[in-house]
Amino acid sequence: MEICLSDPEHGYYRRREPIGAAGDFVTAPEVSQMFGELIGLWCAVSWRQMGAPERVNLVELGPGRGTMMRDALRAAAAEPGFRAAVSLHLVETGDSLRETQHQSLADTAAAWHDTLADVPPGPLLLIANEFFDALPVHQYEMTTEGWRERLVSFEDGNCCPALAETPSALRRPGEVGDVFELAPARNDYMAEIAARVERDGGAALIIDYGHTESANGDTLQAVRAHKAQPLFAEPGLADLTSHVDFAALGRAAPAVSLHGPVRQGDFLRALGIEARAAKLQRSATPEQARDIETALHRLIEPRQMGDLFKALAVTTKGAPVPAGFERLAAAPEASQGSGAW
Ligand SMILES: C[S@@+](CC[C@H](N)C(=O)[O-])C[C@H]1O[C@@H](n2cnc3c(N)ncnc32)[C@H](O)[C@@H]1O
């Protein structure tokens, strides 16, 4: 998964422009400007809650086409002190996406980095939408002899699945055929975010599709041109993702306060997306007003992105509850078990 996505020469994210109608998939910021705008206001409010520091590192992990950051900064201009305090840092490994981000943010001073570790120290506001799902996972399958890791083999010129012969250290219940996913790369990234928040102060907001409790389930998928395809069909040419285990992320960050995860639909409603949609519709043509309604439903309806996507925030212990999380209980799991995602 890591080679397919990140190989310097052939990796999917290194070379391709995957996002948008002409690409392979569409993300929330590309569905509507409302998404990025609300995230921008979330950042401005969080900055106030931090005590309005003179300088703050605004960091986005995996900024895609730069759409969310562009919309966020435009909306956050409503809080001029915040805009003046921001140093913008974009963590992106893809060359062609970096180029697109440059264009989207042409009027804004920003620094690009390969990893979060390269961002200079200082109070932090970090946002990551659909970043964690792109970090690699290991898969384990329950066999009659216990858990075995799923590996990738190569036969007759083609990639194919294989099971490790040796037992794995995984200890959890499962029936033969069940799959469990572990994502050390995600947990390490989460631990690094938490360590920075704890050390320098600030907040982080992670939005992604996934489940609130660790559970068995095979969620690894390949997508090309908006269609699922077999995992091994076109390595490096299809997006590979798996659902984020938010409970595992939480366990990787014991020294900070976690807020959520809450459902994206509830989170965006709490931030006022319906009022924003109504305001945009007042100055829209009838056709635009219909598009705004469609986008709103796509972002918040349970059967669309509203339930599967979750928002999780990280703050220092004792900090105020971030905007959008105040009255929301953590999202209960809609379904669990093998293949139930
Ligand atoms: C699914 S896209 C999401 C893009 C954007 N956040 C959005 O919502 O449209 C994943 C993004 O993370 C970037 N990315 C993937 N793996 C990365 C890594 N290990 N380090 C930094 N960026 C990475 C990709 O190049 C891409 O910009």
DSSP code per residue over 12-48: HHHH---BSTTSSB--HHHH-HHHHHHHHHHHHHHHH
Give me ligand 1 centre to Cα 289, in Å. 30
User: From the CB of 63, is ligand 1 less than 6 Å away?
Assistant: yes
Closest residue to atom 5 of ligand 1, CA basis: 64
Structural domain of 39? 2-135+183-218+236-315
Report the percentage of the chain scoring pLDDT > 90.
Answer: 87
- Please tell me the predicted confidence (pLDDT) of residue 20: 87
11 lines ligand 1 (CB under 6 A): no
Q: Which of 218, 213, 210, 211 is nearest to 140 (CA)?
A: 218
Counting other chains too, the contacts that 144-151 makes at CB distance below 8 Å and 24 or more residues apart are 144/176, 147/172, 147/174, 147/180, 150/179
pLDDT at 328: 65
How does pLDDT run across 38-52, given as a tens digit for each residue?
999 999 999 999 999
Q: What DSSP line would sit under 49-91, residue for residue?
A: HTT--S-EEEEEES-TTSHHHHHHHHHHTTSHHHHHHEEEEEE
- Please report, rounded to a whole number, the percentage of residues in the chain having pLDDT higher than 70: 96
Q: Is 71 in the pocket of ligand 1 (CB under 6 A)?
A: no
Nearest-angstrom CA–CA distance, 85 and 304: 36
Chain segment 179-191, per-residue pLDDT in tens: 999 999 999 999 9
For residue 339, pLDDT over 50 is answered with no
Rounded alpha-carbon distances, angstroms, from residue 9 to 93, 133, 260? 12, 21, 38
Reading the block at residue 211, the tokens are: 């489940």
Assess whether 193 and 159 both reside in one domain. Answer: no
Say yes or no: 100 and 173 in one domain. Answer: no
Residue 194 lies in a domain: yes
Mean pLDDT of 130-140: 97
Q: Does a structural domain hold residue 224?
A: no
Q: Is residue 243 part of a domain?
A: yes
Q: What's residue 159's pLDDT? A: 85
63-102: pLDDT as tens digits: 999 999 999 999 999 999 999 999 999 999 988 899 999 9
Residue 329: per-residue pLDDT: 61
- Output the CA 129–ligand 1 centroid distance in Å: 8
Q: Give yes or no: residues 63 and 28 share one domain.
A: yes
- Are 11 and 156 members of one domain? no
CB 35 within 8 A of CB 68: yes
Please tell me the predicted confidence (pLDDT) of residue 332. 58
Query: Rg of the chain over CA atoms, in angstroms?
Result: 20
Residues 159 and 254 in one domain: no
**What CA–CA distance (Å, rounded) separates 180 from 191?**
21
Please work out whether the CB of residue 29 comes within 6 Å of at least one atom of ligand 1.
yes
Please indicate, yes or no, whether residues 50 and 177 belong to a single structural domain of this protein: no
Question: Length of the chain in residues, anyone?
Answer: 341
Minimal CA–CA distance to 210: which of 130, 123, 273, 266?
A: 130
| Domains identified in the chain, total number | 2
Closest C-alpha residue for ligand 1 atom 11: 62
Kindly state whether residues 126 and 83 are assigned to the same domain: yes
